[in-house]
Chains A and B, each alone.
Chain A
């Protein structure tokens, strides 16, 4: 079907940008400021949701913003793949606005205006990535996300956060400028444009390009989008956990890392294409390469006592599932990988929300100190338990759907190794999540804890995490909504 020009794409990208401006302008009145954040978030979600029928009807929407040079433009597109990311990110922003307000106010954090402004700007970047029509636009928004999240990571402005933020920005910009930019320029020289292909098979590279050049470009893209957390360029992610928890929740479980994975997947499927990857035999080696990340990150997670650090390594590990699924180059593998973008988002944001709620209520960061907290914070720990099941991949929570398709893909690809990796990682996931839940509910609280009489955190925090946990279950039981987009990608 011919592409349709649609101004809603521009509006979707503008909503968070204008929202950021309003937040900055109304900084002196916190309630108005938060209202602006909410308004921007709900507008963005409404616009994104309004695109769903057209995409379901098989349309591809386009909007060109700037034509820079021949074959080089800043333009937007909405297709099935963009919707998987855009819908989940924009919906979760709405939820996070409430959670962030509760968290930041409970802790009486400083510079809340800057925080909210940068938050909106980061979403601007993320939505831009989701709706990118070509590699240049993707790169532009990818870099915007890197720059705009720096103030969020450095939010506390102490030694630790400066060090974390420096590592964060160094890893992300160095890989983007050192690997993606040259790859992008070379692709432009080879093909004369950077527009993504219209299907996942053909790719855009001319057939006569040397196979080693293509392989090198491909490697640059897998490693260059370092937000995807693939080892060896993953260690910015745990460092970035110095950020306030709402940042970790939305950005480092949904927006930032998903920008990385989404970009990687977009480039794998729409620049290189399944046919070319098959021809050059790039699929399974990629799957094995990210398997290292899956297993190693899970083992590291086991060793972490800090809850956010454990979640960070869990994120590193889970992100690679997405790339692994796509790299299998079989329909069910690709479906499993792509749907995990949404499934992981809902579950992981729940886990981070819980970690933040626990911190606000008890000022505890270490898992070993959380014994028995489940009894005084049943909603929080209940939500945590559900989301953990999703990470493990147990029915009926969302993660099960992803893992089902991933395993099917691994069987289709006939790779015993990948099946083993998936099984081992499931065991490891259980090993590092189950104790948190178990000790939370059944562990013996310390004497000091008993005296404290802890209660649940502010409802502004508990309600959002209950909602995301519930959605994790719903999309596990009824996976049709996101699966319909994922089917349409193929």
Chain B
């Protein structure tokens, strides 16, 4: 499947990737702040509608990359401009384009200073994020990957809270150090495979020497695990979330965290399949720790944003658990968990932003009982909190159910360790919901507290629709990725000969295998 066959027709992906840059350039010349907001909203909404074209035209019956565009870019380095999507990246592209207008909407009043720069940053982010999910050439991928870093650091560093510089620097250093390993791995692969083309590398997969695969896997792993973030690489996340403006938190949670898990799916599994099998138990172990640890830590938080941030660690633990379960249930579940986390946690961050705009606090004690004067808010908060704890009938349930099914197929003992994490998810979310909706017997009083306005309801409604759509009728979502997941599993399937080698030799890095 891996050969890219370019699609001669309309360059839909390139337009999706680069038109935000154009929009940003135009935004630079708009003076009125309100016009800027409307312009960015209109543009991102248009991009979201355009991306539905991908959904409509996508052929779910093949695992081939679709909407492929291929042209030579830097011939002497054999770097190509190659983009394309399969079922997995399609979902993430759609998630990104859907989230963008909501980010603009939730910043409407929240961002009052440097509106122009803010909107330009958002638009550049869109280019980079869509680019990451579409890139079929490793150099192109890396450029987009790095391009995300600066606007995101700016979003935190300029529009963030009191400790914004600390948080943005921490985010930058963590991600940057991960990227260096990624770059080294890319160059090493280039010499081993002879091409930067991602499909070429996937095809090379099993033929790569085992020791080489170990090193590449580890380099990938550090880079992606920081991004996910997996325990113990997660400490940048709460800091970044707490300081980031609402839109920054939403982008971070909904899209940026997915890049780590996307990296595992797109690169680690197919390019280093034998190393993947070798390292699977360790990654699974870390995932289980992340699920339980994230839950425990979330339960201890009094800052709403920190609570949601740590819940993200736990949710992403489910995603990595599903991926490294290495079976259909697990990977399908993992992709759904990724999408669901984008929808639900994005919504929760918007909810927290709504509270912060009104009360200028995110403390659970100070927000106690606000639900009584804000019934519509409570209703939305209730649905998203239930979705986050994987209530049956909501989106997260399907994802976690599949991941747990995949996990049980691997090891029952491991899943018994996951169960406390599942219970904790209910504990911290219900605790939050109880505080917001009821509080205690002596709640702070906020005179003149307004319930959700029209703009806020419009922001949250699409996410609400997805909560129930994926929760009750996931078939359209599972169908587009079915073939891609099968294909991925075939690529990752352990070669029998190698399997015995892996079992026979313990973890032994053979430097002679390196180029």
Contact = CB atoms under 8 A, between A and B. Distances in A.
A378 interface: no
A433 to B, nearest CB: 36
Interface of B: 329, 386, 389, 391-393, 398, 401-402, 404-405, 408-409, 412, 415-416, 419-420, 422-423, 425-427, 430, 434, 438, 440-441, 472-475, 478
Nearest to A169: B430
Top 5 A-B residue pairs of the complex, sorted by shortest distance between their CB atoms: A140-B392, A185-B404, A178-B423, A66-B472, A189-B408
Interface string A223-249: 000000000000000000000000000
A144 to B, nearest CB: 8
A181 interface: yes
Contacts of B420: 178
A186 interface: yes
A210 B189 CA distance: 46
A182 B415 contact: yes
A188 B404 CA distance: 10
Contacts of A213: 412
A252 B416 CA distance: 31
B404 A182 contact: yes
What is the predominant secondary structure among interface residues of chain A facing chain B? helix
A136 interface: yes
A91 interface: no
A140 B392 CA distance: 5
B84 to A, nearest CB: 28
Contact of A69 (B386, B398, B409): B398
A157 B392 contact: no
Contacts of A157: 438, 441
Given A143-B391, A177-B425, 8 more contacts: A69-B475, A136-B392, A154-B438, A169-B434, A178-B419, A178-B420, A185-B404, A189-B408
B405 A188 contact: yes
A173 interface: yes
Given A147-B386, A174-B423, A159 B441 contact: yes
Given A68-B398, A182-B404, A162 B438 contact: yes
A85 interface: no
B474 A68 contact: yes
| A68, A147, A181, most chain B CB atoms within 10 A | A68
Interface string A146-162: 01001000100111001
| B386, B393, B412, B422, most chain A CB atoms within 10 A | B393
A74 interface: yes
Contacts of B434: 150, 166, 169
Contacts of A169: 430, 434
A174 B426 contact: yes
B408 A68 contact: no
A147 B389 CA distance: 12
A170 interface: yes
A303 interface: no
B344 to A, nearest CB: 17
B482 to A, nearest CB: 11
Contacts of A139: 392
What is the predominant secondary structure among interface residues of chain B facing chain A? helix
Interface in A186-207: 186, 188-189
A68 B441 CA distance: 42
A67 interface: yes
A209 to B, nearest CB: 12
| A159, A182, A213, most chain B CB atoms within 10 A | A182
Contact of A181 (B393, B422, B473): B422
Interface of A: 66-69, 72, 74, 136, 139-140, 143, 147, 150, 154, 157-159, 162, 166, 169-170, 173-174, 177-178, 181-182, 185-186, 188-189, 213
B426 A177 contact: yes
22 contacts: A68-B474, A68-B475, A69-B478, A74-B393, A74-B472, A136-B392, A140-B392, A143-B391, A147-B391, A157-B441, A159-B441, A169-B434, A177-B389, A177-B422, A182-B404, A185-B401, A185-B404, A186-B408, A186-B415, A188-B401, A188-B405, A189-B329
Contacts of A136: 392
Contacts of A177: 389, 419, 422-423, 425-426
B441 A158 contact: yes
B472 A68 contact: yes
A189 B409 contact: yes
A95 B397 CA distance: 36
B473 A66 contact: yes
A186 B392 contact: no
Nearest to A159: B441
Contacts of B398: 68-69
A452 B508 CA distance: 89
| B402, B426, B430, most chain A CB atoms within 10 A | B426
Contacts of B404: 181-182, 185
Nearest to A173: B426
Nearest to A24: B375
B412 A143 contact: no
Contacts of B392: 136, 139-140, 143
A150 B472 CA distance: 24
Contacts of A68: 398, 472-475
A182 B419 contact: yes
A67 B393 contact: no
A453 to B, nearest CB: 35
A72 B399 CA distance: 13
Contacts of A74: 393, 472
B474 to A, nearest CB: 6
Contacts of A140: 392-393
Contacts of B405: 185, 188-189
Contacts of A66: 472-473
A434 B23 CA distance: 82
Nearest to A142: B392
A143 B391 CA distance: 8
A32 to B, nearest CB: 19
A221 to B, nearest CB: 15
Nearest to B429: A173
Contacts of B474: 68-69
A170 B427 contact: yes
Contacts of B412: 186, 213
A170 B422 CA distance: 13
A181 B475 CA distance: 22
Contacts of A174: 423, 426-427
Contacts of B475: 67-69
A182 B416 CA distance: 8
A174 B440 CA distance: 22
B441 A185 contact: no
Contacts of B438: 154, 157, 162
Contacts of A173: 423, 426-427, 430
A367 B149 CA distance: 70
A185 B475 CA distance: 19
Contacts of A185: 401, 404-405, 408, 415
Contacts of B422: 177-178, 181-182
Given A157-B438, A158-B441, A159-B441, A69 B402 contact: yes
Contacts of B472: 66, 68, 74
Nearest to A154: B438
B486 to A, nearest CB: 15
A185 B473 CA distance: 19
| B392, B425, B438, most chain A CB atoms within 10 A | B392
Contacts of A162: 438, 440-441
A150 B430 CA distance: 11
Nearest to A140: B392
Nearest to A137: B392
B325 to A, nearest CB: 11
A148 to B, nearest CB: 11
B160 to A, nearest CB: 35
A239 to B, nearest CB: 15
A182 B405 CA distance: 9
Contacts of B391: 143, 147
| A66, A139, A166, most chain B CB atoms within 10 A | A66
